[in-house]
Amino acid sequence: MTDLAVAVPEPIVGRSLWGNAWARLKRNRAAMFSLYYLAFISVISVFGPMVVPHEYTTIYGDYVRMPPSLSAYPKPDMIQGALTDAIKRMRANIKEWHQDGSRVIVTVT
């Protein structure tokens, strides 16, 4: 046997498929914008229900057939009609009612 040292070439290290895909994604500005947008929508969809005061499963039956609107329901002119209908179903009479901010106070006989 000889004592000669054999030079072993260094293995060539290239990018993995994931590394190559990530580099291509970072170069594409539209794809990066879309990625940030999807991340933003995901964060909003996870934490949004914690901020909203209403349960997302609540259905307000009185307003199902209402047309779309940017104003809040019920509108002030709708309160008396809805109140009268509800009291009639109870077979009672309205003695008086008034609205105090967002509250409606009714005296029923």
Omega into 76 within 30° of 0, i.e. cis? no
pLDDT tens profile 51-76: 888 787 888 787 788 888 888 777 77
- Measured CA angle at 46 (ends 42, 47), to 5 deg: 115
Does the model's pTM come out above 0.75? no
pLDDT, residue 94, reads 86
pLDDT tens profile 8-51: 888 888 889 999 999 999 999 999 999 999 999 999 999 988 88
pLDDT, residue 69, reads 83
CB 23 within 8 A of CB 15: yes
Q: Parse the chain into domains and list their residue ranges.
A: 17-51, 71-108
pLDDT, residue 2, reads 66
pLDDT, residue 80, reads 83
